[in-house]
Amino acid sequence: MQDLSDIKDVMRAFETGNLEPAQFIERYNTLWRRLRDAQYAEIEAHRLPLGPGTPAAQAISQLFAEIDAYRERPDAPGEAYLTVDQLHQAVREALHVLDDST
């Protein structure tokens, strides 16, 4: 399995309050893109350590989607956005899956 320590470290830093939401989102998105690109490269080479459809891959991608739904200051009244508490919950759930996968 691909090493997920960097992405888990960023998730834990946010969960413990060492990163503000904007810092977390920037760092997580950068790492997520690297994992995604590495995954595509491995698929092309017929190696699938993170494997599409595995619980770890699904958790990482789901958290990316959750991050996209977070807004520090919602810009459209009535739109459904994640709150910071919901973002923390999404991180805890993803960490649980990742910890169980490694």
Name the CATH topology of 5-101: Four Helix Bundle (Hemerythrin (Met), subunit A) (1.20.120)
Domain locations along the chain? 5-101
Segments in the chain below pLDDT 50: 1, 48
- The tens digit of pLDDT for each residue in 22-51 reads 999 999 999 988 888 887 676 656 554 556
Q: With b meaning 16 or more CB within 10 Å and e meaning fewer, what string describes 13-43?
A: bbbeeebebeebbebbeebbeebeeebeeee
Q: What is the pTM of this model?
A: 0.60
